[in-house]
Amino acid sequence: MSEQIPVHNVTPPARKDGDTVDLYASREKIYTRAFSGLFRNLRISGGIVLFLLYFGTVWLDWGGHQAVWWNLPERKFYIFGATFWPQDFILLSGILIVSAFGLFFITVFAGRVWCGYTCPQSVWTWIFMWCEKVTEGDRNQRMKLDKSPMSASKFTRKLAKHSLWLLIGLLTGLTFVGYFSPIRELVVDFITGQADGWSYFWVGFFTLATYGNAGWLREQVCIYMCPYARFQSVMFDKDTLIVSYDPRRGEKRGPRKKELDYKAHGLGDCIDCTMCVQVCPTGIDIRDGLQIECIGCAACIDACDTIMDKMNYPRGLISYTTEHNLSGQTTHTLRPRLIGYAAVLLVMIGVLTGAFFMRSLVGFDVSKDRVLYRENAEGRIENVYSLKVMNKDQVDHVYVLDATGLADLKLQGRREIRVPAGEIVTLPVELSVAPEQLPSSTNEVKFILRDVEHSGSEIQAKSRFIGPQVR
């Protein structure tokens, strides 16, 4: 006899007012409940470190300027002791690629820990939720407040909440712009109304972006807007750490008295208190299984562990686990995919570190004048060049210039070039040769720049010396 495939009706329910089907579900506001626990404490500690880094780094000085500073007008990027120029952007791209691989590695190993603990969207959302709790109360109070008609008390609470949100947004925006425009001057100019229009525009833009993302959009950003959320599920395997409910232990769920011999009544450990749902910032029920909305924040673990403690049941009904663990199989921590990511990551970090320390700290560029050649008062053939010397180091350098490539080659102009730290010096120089010494009408010449004070290293740049036709 042939087996029949079971069929489930997945048609969305019709609206009450007719037979048309509403495919658009408007967002339901999520009222999260306050909770405590190990993972919450970890998140707060991590959040404080990130906050200090974000708000504090911008105020540090290094080598006479802001320690981390995207100086866009001069096209220089300072990160503490290192200065990056447009030519070094390959290194910055490398840093981004290494960061992406680091994220892949972490995702394969521990799922969405980045989302739950360190993503700015999550960190700022948790802070905004805290402001909400301080001004409007906990979950039930907020629900009641939203249902109540407008009153002086409601207005004051809402005003306080939005003011706090805007203040945090403003500090975030000001700090962000401060990474591009020196923060000390920016803050003073901003307050005194002396800042330029673009500064006001960008601070306003990032203030509103923070206010909108962390205050209003929240989980919508993670669910619908974040590209990382979309593609990371393909990186998961059955050994990736996920936040999961153990249905074998939890079902059959149901309320009961603490002292009841629930197992004798066919009940599992889940008392169906819905605390795990009430604390979830994305409003999902983890008991329904792994869902794309889950950002792995572990709030439901903390909430459920508290309930388990109250019931005197063992902790871990919701826990960090793996699909293999849940199905009773062994979890393989070291697996080919993870080892592959780790190996690629280590190689890339090695290459990047090598490239960083081996990069030349002097840039040298020679361009020849458009006038092909001229004869000077001594009857020598003369070519004019423009030299550009770029000091990428944090200290001043003195270079000595020389030129080779032709017999009787004379260099006129400055031989000693002092280039301040992080600056570019452009200077004209002339080379001259007696016409009878020219082997050809176009000849290769080399400019040599020696760093006499520091490394003694030299850098060369080639150019052409043009003369009249040689018979």
x-or-dash string of contact with ligand SF4, 218-257, rule CB under 6 A: -------------------------x-x----x--x----
Nearer to ligand SF4, 194 or 233 (CB): 233
Exposure string of 86-109, with b = 16+ CB inside 10 Å and e = fewer, is eebeebeebeeebeebeebbbbbb
The sheet carrying 442-451 orders its strands as 416-419, 397-404, 442-451, 458-466
Q: Does 294 bind ligand SF4 (CB under 6 A)?
A: yes
- From the list 430, 425, 428, the residue with the least C-alpha distance to 445 is 430
Q: Rounded to whole angstroms, how far apart are CA atoms 165 and 183? A: 21
Q: Min. distance of Cβ 222 from ligand SF4 in angstroms?
A: 9
Q: Are 111 and 296 in contact (CB under 8 A)?
A: yes
Q: Rounded to whole angstroms, how far apart are CA atoms 111 and 361? A: 40
x-or-dash string of contact with ligand SF4, 387-406, rule CB under 6 A: --------------------
In which residue are the tokens 């400055």 written? 414
Q: Rounded to whole angstroms, how far apart are CA atoms 229 and 19? A: 35
- Could you say which of 296, 389, 443, 445 contacts ligand SF4 (CB under 6 A)? 296
Nearer to ligand SF4, 169 or 250 (CB): 250
Amino acid at 454: H
With contacts defined by CB under 6 A, name the span among 85-93, 163-171, 293-301, 362-370 that binds ligand SF4.
293-301
Q: Min. distance of Cβ 282 from ligand SF4 in angstroms?
A: 5
Q: Rounded to whole angstroms, how far apart are CA atoms 331 and 159? A: 51
Q: Min. distance of Cβ 267 from ligand SF4 in angstroms?
A: 11
For ligand SF4, the binding residues in 301-360 under the rule CB under 6 A are 303-304, 307, 317-318
Q: Min. distance of Cβ 278 from ligand SF4 in angstroms?
A: 9
- What secondary structure does DSSP assign to 319-342, as a single string? EEE-HHHHTTPPP-SS-HHHHHHH
Nearer to ligand SF4, 83 or 244 (CB): 244
x-or-dash string of contact with ligand SF4, 251-290, rule CB under 6 A: --x----------------xxxxxxx--xxxx-x-xx---
Q: Does 297 bind ligand SF4 (CB under 6 A)?
A: yes
Q: Min. distance of Cβ 292 from ligand SF4 in angstroms?
A: 10
Q: Rounded to whole angstroms, how far apart are CA atoms 30 and 224? A: 16
Q: Rounded to whole angstroms, how far apart are CA atoms 359 and 362? A: 9
| H/E stretch holding 208 | helix 197-210
Binding site for ligand SF4 (CB under 6 A): 243, 245, 250, 253, 270-276, 279-282, 284, 286-287, 294-300, 303-304, 307, 317-318
